[in-house]
Amino acid sequence: MKFFLDTANLREINEAKSMGFLDGITTNPTLISKENLFHKEEIENHYISICKIIGNNKSVSAEVISTKYEDILKEGMKLSSLHKNIVVKIPATRDGIKSINFFHERGVSTNCTLVFSIGQSILAAKAGATYISPFLGRLDDISYNGIKLIQEIKYIYDEYNFHTKIIAASIRNSIHILECSKSRIFAITSPINIYYSLLNHPLTNKGLKKFIEDYKKKINLT
Ligand code: E4P
């Protein structure tokens, strides 16, 4: 299972890399807006920096902000030309799906984002999306079952042998990660704090405290 980091923050990216679990990056316009980048050129250079940090053959999803077909093509082409690791992230709209098909025919990798239904996932796969990103947390927020949706998409993709890979997105807690892992989902993309939460266990903290106390009682550390 791949662990992607859902961030545009270089410090977090370096931290995940140093812990050995960084398989890729996803960004979105909201995440980019948090990085104090004020011009298009600065944003493009930022994407290049991310690609250089994560290394070869690891994808970095960079999202278009255009919504019209021709504009998505122009912006997507520019993003894709920045670095070979860039995957063009495109929303699951009518113009978006048409653009995904355009890029598919030219060998450009895409990530179909803002996926909330089986219908969107099927059209994205038929258009040739490299990845789709169903948003689990945002579905849970409105009382729909995000995990159930992703399991249904996986079932349909497997049944029909679609090649599009599923990235579980909008991850809110460690249970999302564990459920996706049990369902053999290709990847999850999550903020770094939720990866950290996988390490939380009261017995680990309690055990560590006791080990150190016992050691210090008998052994002079100076
Ligand atoms: C996916 O690729 C998105 O960047 C992301 O997972 C959205 O998550 P959010 O619902 O926490 O904003």
> Are 167 and 3 spatial neighbours (Cβ–Cβ below 8 Å)?
no
Whether 4 lines ligand 1, by a CB cut-off of 6 Å, is: no
Spatial separation of the C-alpha atoms in residues 157 and 168, rounded to whole Å? 14
Query: Domain total for the chain?
Result: 1
Q: Is 88 helix (H, G, I), strand (E, B) or coil?
A: strand
At 186 the pLDDT is: 98
Question: What is the extent of the structural domain holding 115?
Answer: 2-221
- For atom 8 of ligand 1, the residue with the nearest CA is 170
Ligand 1 centre to CA of 135 (Å) is 7
Pocket test for ligand 1, best of 23, 165, 167, 189 (most atoms within 8 A of CB): 189
Q: What is the mean pLDDT of the chain?
A: 97
Whether 59 lines ligand 1, by a CB cut-off of 6 Å, is: no
> Which residues are the active-site residues?
89
Pocket test for ligand 1, best of 28, 30, 113 (most atoms within 8 A of CB): 28
pLDDT digits (tens, 9 = 90+) for 138-148: 999 999 999 99
In which residue are the tokens 């892992």 written? 181
Whether 191 lines ligand 1, by a CB cut-off of 6 Å, is: no
- For atom 1 of ligand 1, the residue with the nearest CA is 169
169-176 average pLDDT score = 97
User: What contacts 43, CB < 8 A, 6 or more positions away?
Assistant: 32, 37
Ligand 1 centre to CA of 68 (Å) is 22
Ligand 1 centre to CA of 169 (Å) is 5
222 has pLDDT over 90: no
At 212 the pLDDT is: 96
Q: How does residue 220 score in pLDDT terms, banded at 50, 70 and 90? A: confident
Distance (Å) of CA 42 to CA 50, 51, 75: 12, 14, 15
pLDDT digits (tens, 9 = 90+) for 71-104: 999 999 999 999 999 999 999 999 999 999 999 9
Ligand 1 centre to CA of 170 (Å) is 4
CATH number for the domain spanning 67: value is: 3.20.20.70
- φ/ψ region of 57 (left if φ > 0, alpha if ψ in -120 to 50, else beta) reads left
pLDDT digits (tens, 9 = 90+) for 187-210: 999 999 999 999 999 999 999 999
Looking at the whole model, is its pTM more than 0.85? yes
pLDDT digits (tens, 9 = 90+) for 30-78: 999 999 999 999 999 999 999 999 998 999 999 999 999 999 999 999 9
Biggest alpha carbon distance in the chain? Answer: 73
Q: Which atom of ligand 1 is nearest to the CA of 169?
A: 6
At 156 the pLDDT is: 98
